[in-house]
Amino acid sequence: MASILVFGETDDSGLTAPTLELLGAASRLSADIGGGVALALIGSGLADAAAAAGPAGADSVYTADADSLAGYQTDSFLPVAQGIVEQDSPSVILMSQSSIGRDLAPRLATRLGTAAIMDALGLEVDGGRVKATRSCYGGNARQVVTVQTDPQVITVRPKSQDPIEADASRSAELIAVDVAEPTLRARTTGKEQAESEGIRLEDAEIVVSGGRGLGGPEAFADLESLAGVLTAAVGSSRAACDLGWYPPSQQVGLTGTVVSPTLYVAIAISGASQHMAGCGGSKNIIAINKDPDAPIFSFSRFGIVDDYKKVLPALEAAFAAALD
């Protein structure tokens, strides 16, 4: 019996970065709550990922490994997740605030007779319960909340927690879970992969982002050019995505991707709270905006007050010379 059950996610490289972060958070919480840390993996071809669970902080790892579980579907994952929870009886369940966690956590919590707190930024133990700090009002406010029923289900924002140092000498007890053939009501019939060349937003060390102030979709070609010089990924504010200037997959913000690069270059972005919710964890933000009162400057380490159209070519040349 574990005290904290982490629902992990996998990709080609094994456990995803947010999963390693969840295991880090779970290890720290379990020091205060007691009990162990279990990882649950639901999917197909999980052997390599399961082997990484011990070194990343799990004491045990449940694997529900079946062809029918390749790719998340609410109706196939939900009963499997429920089965693992009933077997493990955790006091806390952690998931990533990902496409999967957003969908699975509230349904699973309801099925278990409890509730979910979504998108936690900070976690601490107080009186045996997990106090979660989360963003609300589009990033304008923070609230501290607890789930008063058991188990406490919490989704955690990617990049908000640190993983633990991997310890190759540790191993986790492997528990294979039987998987029944799912009854699918909603059925995924296909997937459109976003066209993204180059670096994934969430992995990039440098992100160059544009907003509504760019004035049109053409300007993103200039951002891509600058990003090429900086080996950066290109992001967009929600306003620019909603206007159809750039694909939704590149949206940085509360309802898009959360990034925390070393350098975030915000070009013609005003700095609305819901955008800052997606990039506020960046180590350094630099802003280029012609409005000296734009809120983005209050989050930035360096700023240039000018028309981006004039600054961008000069900046690209200066970066190219500096990095040559």
Residues between 113 and 132 with contacts to another protein, criterion CB under 8 A: 114-119, 131
Binding of residue 268 to another protein (CB under 8 A): no
**Closer residue to another protein in complex, CB, 84/116:** 116
Q: Closest distance between another protein and the C-beta of residue 47, in Å?
A: 23
Query: Taking the C-alpha atoms of 62, 68, 70 and 72 in order, what is their torsion angle to the nearest 10 degrees?
Result: -80
The C-alpha atoms of residue 253 and residue 284 are separated, in whole angstroms, by 16
Q: Which parts of 274-303 interact with another protein (CB under 8 A)?
A: 274, 283-287, 292, 295, 297-303
> Hey, which residues between 50 and 79 contact another protein (CB under 8 A)?
74-75
- State the nearest-atom distance from the C-beta of 59 to another protein, in Å: 28
Query: CA-CA distance, 167 to 30, in Å (whole number)?
Result: 17
Binding mask 162-201 for another protein (x = CB under 8 A): -----------------------xxxxxxxxxx-x-----
Q: Taking a C-beta distance cutoff of 8 angstroms, is the pair 240, 252 a contact?
A: no
Q: How far is CA 206 from CA 79, 88, 100, 263, 282, in A?
A: 40, 41, 26, 5, 9
Alpha-carbon distance 40 to 43, whole Å?
10
Q: Which stretch binds another protein (CB under 8 A): 49-57, 87-95, 139-147, 169-177?
A: 139-147
10 — phi, psi (to 5°)?
-125, 155
Query: Facing residues of 157 across strands?
Result: none
Least separation in angstroms between residue 257's CB and another protein is 7
Nearest to another protein of 148, 169 (CB atom): 148
DSSP string, 254-318: TTSB----SEEEEES----HHHHHHHTT-SEEEEEES-TT-GGGGG-SEEEES-HHHHHHHHHHH
140 forms part of the interface with another protein (CB under 8 A): yes
* Location of structure tokens 């994934």: 200
Please report, as residue ranges, which positions from 87 to 106 form the binding site for another protein (by CB under 8 A).
Answer: 98-99, 102-103, 105-106
Of 39-47, 56-64, 135-143, 171-179, the window that binds another protein (rule: CB under 8 A) is 135-143
Shortest distance in whole angstroms from residue 219 CB to another protein: 15
